[in-house]
Amino acid sequence: MAAKTPEDILADASAWSDTSIIDIHPGRIAIRGYAIEALIGRARFPDMIWLMLRGDLPTRGQSDLFEAALVPGVNHGPHAPSTMPKAIPYRYSGPAARPVPAPGGDG
């Protein structure tokens, strides 16, 4: 089997992985047609999700509303910040399961 040229390898990779969301070429990265340099420092995290899913940048109102919808999913997920030990004043320890003050807790 003959060795593949770099162009052949690039063509194989391009044929295997083709997406309209991200366009990557040497020296250029674009997400849905927007140059990455134009997005860095301007687009917030919810804006980037919106852009990748919908194909356009949201208005500020859409972005704020989308962020408000995302926050509860993060805040009340399986490892929510509100369930961390610092927020729980007591932990249970030992065979009698008596309350013991948590480190840094109130009590």
pLDDT in tens, 62-103: 999 999 988 877 766 666 555 555 544 545 455 555 555 555
- Which has more confidence, 15 or 61? 61
Q: Report the C-alpha gap between 38 and 22 in whole angstroms.
A: 14
35 within 8 A of 28, measured Cβ to Cβ: yes
Share of the chain above pLDDT 90, in %: 37
Helix/strand/coil percent split, the chain, to 5:
45, 15, 40
Tokens of 56: 């356009």
Per cent of the chain over pLDDT 70 is 66
What is the SS3 assignment for 69?
helix
